[in-house]
Homo-oligomer: A and B are copies of this chain.
Amino acid sequence: MEFSEYFTIWDQLTPGQQETLSKSCVSRAVKGGATLHGNGTDCTGLLLVRAGQLRAFILSREGREVTLYRLFERDLCLFSASCLLRSIQFDVTVTAEKDTELWVIPADVYRQIMEQSAALANYTNEIMASRFSEVMWLVEQVMWNSMDRRVAVFLLEEAAIEDTGLLHITHERIANHLGTHREVVTRMLRYFQREGMVRLSRGTVELTDRAKLEALRGA
């Protein structure tokens, strides 16, 4: 079964634990744009990405969004299973940013194995520390960085993920990643265009001077 190749610490589980996991996980394929977890759903389960791209974000009461982190191939999403740990006291929404294949692992199955297996518990620790580090990066961005730097950082990161300087993305979606309003993003992008850093057209942002964007990021 292919699941074993994607589950990083498979070899450190006992045959019994491997069998329990294999039998209980469910394979799913979802279209880009689909919501996998959120809107008050309790415990969707852990999500192991086989191919594609997921996005985890939080929502304000007014419907504003801010991206916490992205998940790629072999990444495991813990926070779609907040019932896994008593101390997870916050809600995230998880959507597919691209067509995505994944496995869903029921939280109670995972927890039962984790209680017995130091290997799985330590692996879970590393994942949580990794997500924690991403959220701390966000805190530092929001606390200490101005919006022009945050937009520059976002554009450069998107270009790296998509491996292209021509981004198919709306101003609204950029605002939802950064937790701000569309108007703020539009104003900033127009300023970037006047400075020769990007070229804007309907539904796209093209990076035309990465060195200048990188200088802004590093400033």
Q: A residues near B, CB below 8 A?
A: 58, 60-62, 64, 66, 85-90, 114-118, 121-122, 124-133, 135-140, 142-144, 179
Contact = CB atoms under 8 A, between A and B. Distances in A.
Nearest to A65: B143
A146 to B, nearest CB: 12
29 contacts: A58-B140, A60-B140, A61-B144, A64-B143, A64-B144, A66-B139, A85-B129, A87-B126, A87-B129, A87-B130, A87-B133, A88-B129, A88-B133, A90-B132, A90-B136, A90-B137, A90-B140, A114-B118, A121-B122, A128-B128, A128-B129, A131-B132, A132-B135, A135-B136, A135-B139, A138-B139, A142-B142, A142-B143, A143-B179
Contacts of A88: 129, 132-133
A132 B139 contact: no
B128 A86 contact: no
Contacts of A116: 118
Given A58-B136, A118-B114, A132-B132, A87 B127 contact: yes
B142 A85 contact: no
A122 B129 contact: no
Contacts of A60: 140, 143-144
Contacts of A61: 144
Given A89-B133, A121-B124, A143-B179, 6 more contacts: A58-B143, A90-B133, A116-B118, A118-B121, A139-B139, A139-B142
A132 B130 CA distance: 11
Nearest to A92: B136
A176 to B, nearest CB: 12
Contacts of A179: 143
A135 to B, nearest CB: 6
Nearest to A133: B89
Given A114-B122, A122-B121, A66 B133 contact: no
A86 B130 CA distance: 8
